[in-house]
Amino acid sequence: MRVWRLVSNRRADTAFDGQGAFLAGGRWNPPGIRCVYTSGTSALAVLETLVHMDKRHFKNNFTMLWADIPDGLAVTSFDEGDLPEGWFMTPAPLILQRMGAQWAREIPTAVLQVPSPLAPGEYNFILNPRHRGFSDMLIGPPQPYVFDHRFAG
């Protein structure tokens, strides 16, 4: 399975170390826990980045990266039915961070599949760099990514 990550050029070399989520936290982890947020498609990776961007950042340089998750690597999945009411809202319910933190601390799998709050039927994949299977993932070469000028409109 291939997953995608879009980052600013200055973060391309460390895109899969989990430091950003460790410092800031996210929907599925509180600060202090390393996670790498990826998406099931490159388009979803763009969408997930767009919702966090200020228009002045569209002129910045970005890098798209992919990672291949080996077929034999187990994945933990949270489906919408497993999640509390309003799971998709912003700010996210804190229980999502607790669920993700429990998964990350217990390290049962290297990958957590979660529904995207932005695109029904699409999934994001949280990677746990502490899992022994994480090193089995193949990370592809960085590719320049330029946002279409119409996004800055």
pTM higher than 0.85, yes or no? Answer: yes
Percentage of the chain exceeding pLDDT 70: 98
Say if CB 125 and CB 39 are below 8 A apart.
Answer: yes
Query: CA–CA distance from 66 to each of 38, 101, 108, 129, 140 (Å)?
Result: 9, 24, 23, 15, 5
pLDDT in tens, 5-41: 999 999 999 999 999 999 999 999 999 999 999 999 9
**pLDDT on residue 80:** 93
Which amino acid is present at 145? Y
pLDDT of residue 149: 78
Taking the C-alpha atoms of residue 144 and residue 118, their distance in angstroms, rounded to an integer, is 24
pLDDT tens digits, 89-101: 999 999 999 999 9
Domains of the chain with CATH codes: 2-152 (3.90.175)
Exposure letters 37-68 (e unless 16+ CB within 10 A, then b):
bbbbebebbbbbbeeeeeeeebeeebbbbbbe
Q: What is the DSSP letter of 31?
A: T
